[in-house]
Amino acid sequence: MELCYQLPVLPLDRPVPKHVLSRRGAISFSSSSSLFGAPDPRQLSQRRGAISYDSSDQTALYIRMLAVTNKTIKPSFVFTPDVRVRSQVGFEPERRGSHPYLGVDFRTLHSRAESAGTIPARRIRRLFSFQRHLLSSRLLRGAPHLNPLHILDEDYCGQAKCMLEKVGSWNFDIFLFDRLTNGNSLVFLTFNLLNQYGLIELFQLDMVKLRRFLVLVQEDYHNQNPYHNAVHAADVTQAMHCYLREPKLAQSLTSFDILLGLLAAATHDLDHPGVNQPFLIKTNHYLAALYRNTSVLENHHWRSAVGLLRETELFSNLPAEDSLSIERQLGSLILATDISRQNEYLSRFRTHLDENDLCLGNASHRHFVLQMALKCADICNPCRPWELSKQWSEKVTDEFFHQGDIEKKYKLEISPLCDSEANTIASVQIGFMTYVVEPLFAEWARFSDTRLSQTMLGHLGLNKASWSAMEPEASGSSEEGESEPGRATDEPSSRVLSQGSQES
């Protein structure tokens, strides 16, 4: 695994401001850090994340790793000893433990080697925003710019606003929206929805704190991950909005419920490392030890979100008991996305529907419905139109196979669905749709029998048929194409656990 650190060659006429360079996120360095190639080691001491570099041995290891792999520049730098941890009162600080497979670096697990002379599209979009900052700075200083900068941001902004007018459409193209917002889809979409529901005014949220919170949330998603990144969080948030507008929920949910639902959707995979829970457990990762191998990722997502809420003091205007209530209920929603508890939630939901005893006037019943809505939003990709669903399927399978490649490299047992030689995109998706998605959305349609529910089930059937038609071709023979679902039937729980641990 090789890291490359190069200084940029940019036509700058003044030092870059600290607030542009300093990044405050979680364990990995997200896409905007890649504006200057690899993360600048001199800035690591300024980062404050849910997982901080508070272990001297890990810090020394990372410094040595950078020193060895750095081919271009080897800067000298020192980590400050007072790197703060977001965990505060009531939340045990997360310490970095010894990792037996130290060569596995989540920061670069899913990164691609860039060919010489090419600049990734996301980096170009970040450059647009950076150039806009330089332009505004020069204008404020009264310094004319000789070469006008042709920036696409302004034109894209108008198109993004037009898309937000149809944010409640199930055909909403989150990939296009992310491009139009220069990679800031989660910030723009969540802010727009909070404003649309009148929650900013109702809860008297400070606009500066809110935007800072959303920016930090977006930065704490790892954009190197093919699937578990900020775009996935934005997609889940948009799906949650669609469910909140369903008649049964719209007539019953309180503003507090809606606020919780949107925040949970935006933060439900915060700081996801791009590998599943079994991987963390079998490599003795410190998170697995911290959470005792139980809902490891979901607990970490929740604690990371609470850390950001406290760091930004978003709810400092509310009574202390209300803030704690928000944190607890936010955790209850995020923990519900643990796919290993899928049958528990599904059975409870089915029982309520069979007995017809769901009373949305009851706060606990409303919260349970919110949990089910978030579970549906989290795995709704197979229910999207084929053009969108296919992209998500390819991305999540790409992430699976990357983990499998790492496991092969370090001679670990390959997790189910992560072996690119034994699985295809089609076989993975057919098994996931059959054993996880279909049962959940069938019960949701019983609860909310609306046009949206029927549309989702319709797309699900068509997408499954499309993958079934592609499976023999992908596997090389019809027999291999038919054997994969058979294996899924024999071992549904293990396969569901593996896929769910990553998708949730």
Under a CB-based contact definition with an 8 Å cutoff, are residues 452 and 471 in contact? no
Rounded Cα distance, 392 and 390, in Å = 5
Cα distances from 159 to residues 89, 180, 232, in angstroms, run 44, 7, 21
Residue with tokens 């639902």: 261
Q: Which residues are annotated as a binding site?
A: 228-232, 268-269, 378, 429
Under a CB-based contact definition with an 8 Å cutoff, are residues 110 and 226 in contact? yes
Under a CB-based contact definition with an 8 Å cutoff, are residues 185 and 177 in contact? yes
Q: What is the largest CA-CA distance in the chain?
A: 73
Which amino acid would we find at residue 39? P
Q: Which residues are annotated as a binding site for AMP?
A: 228-232, 269, 378, 429
**Residue 308: left (phi > 0), alpha (psi -120 to 50), or beta?**
alpha
Which amino acid would we find at residue 239? A
Residues 6+ apart with CB under 8 A from 221: 30, 186, 228, 229, 230, 232, 233, 269, 270, 271, 272
Under a CB-based contact definition with an 8 Å cutoff, are residues 246 and 450 in contact? yes
Cα distances from 78 to residues 59, 71, 97, in angstroms, run 10, 19, 21
Structure tokens at 65: 């790793």
The yes-or-no answer on residue 228 being catalytic is: yes
Q: Which of 110, 228, 402, 459 is flagged as catalytic?
A: 228
Cα distances from 370 to residues 88, 160, 282, 386, in angstroms, run 27, 28, 33, 26
Under a CB-based contact definition with an 8 Å cutoff, are residues 346 and 375 in contact? no
What torsion, rounded to 10 degrees, do the Cα atoms 108, 398, 261, 387 define?
Answer: 130
Q: Is the dihedral of CA 13, 17, 20, 23 positive or negative?
A: positive
Under a CB-based contact definition with an 8 Å cutoff, are residues 123 and 114 in contact? no
Residues 6+ apart with CB under 8 A from 68: none
Enumerate the active-site residues: 228
